[in-house]
Amino acid sequence: MLQLGLIYRNGNDVVEKDDQKALMWFKEGAKSGNPSAIHNVGLAYYKGLSVKEDRATAFKYFIQSAQSGLLQSQTIVASQLYNGDGIDKNLKESFKWSLKAAEQGDVESQNDVGLSYELGEGVQKDPIKALTWFKRAAENGQIEAQYNTALKYYNGAGIEQDLDEALKYAEMAANNGSNSAIKLIYSIYSDESGLKYNPEKAQYWKSKI
């Protein structure tokens, strides 16, 4: 039933795309408790695919599949709760679901958990845990987390400042296209009172801004 739903949602050479039939088959799959089918019913209501867009109804489906451990649902549930998207805003619950997704390896969620610990959103501020999650996401290739890790080491807020680590992670982010990271590297090398002052390297990174 899930597969039939996906075939109708996406269409192919043989079957024409049909959101209404897709939803019908997803609902059938949802009745048997299939988490992916439940998620796809939520997606139909979230995006208004053959039904009127209804974010509150979508959330009811997403929370079901999220509770079954479906990663895609957990990230959407966290986002809806964080933004108050069709439901009441709840940062504490949002953090809970971001953490579940992060523990399953979702790199965006890992960075979000780091930000929550950094800002104290939905959880008590904890600079050490913030850095831990930033680094985990950074090592998994998440560009924003690479920059956030660099910034954390650069500022030394709640941790020991480490310019070598700041540069290491900033260069990771810079090499992945982060202009903010390039500016940070330039700031470190152009700081005449800093331990890493290096006019040549400063000029090199300035040229990349």
| Residue partners of 15: CB distance under 8 A and separation at least 6 | 7, 8
Interatomic CA distance for residues 151 and 158, integer angstroms: 12
DSSP state letter for 70? -
What does CATH list as the number for 1-104? 1.25.40.10
Same CATH topology for 1-104 and 107-209: the answer is yes
Helix (H) / strand (E) element for 10: namely helix 2-10
Interatomic CA distance for residues 77 and 93, integer angstroms: 9
Model pTM greater than 0.85? yes
Which pLDDT tens digits describe the chain residue by residue (209 residues)? 666 555 556 667 666 676 776 767 678 878 899 999 999 999 999 999 989 999 999 999 999 999 999 999 999 999 999 999 999 999 999 999 999 999 999 999 999 999 999 999 999 999 999 999 999 999 999 999 999 999 999 999 999 999 999 999 999 999 999 999 999 999 999 999 999 999 999 999 999 99
What does CATH list as the number for 107-209? 1.25.40.10
Q: Where are the domains of the chain?
A: 1-104, 107-209
Which residue, 120, 196, 180, 188, is CA-closest to 148? 180
| CA geometry: angle 72, 101, 78, nearest 5 deg | 75
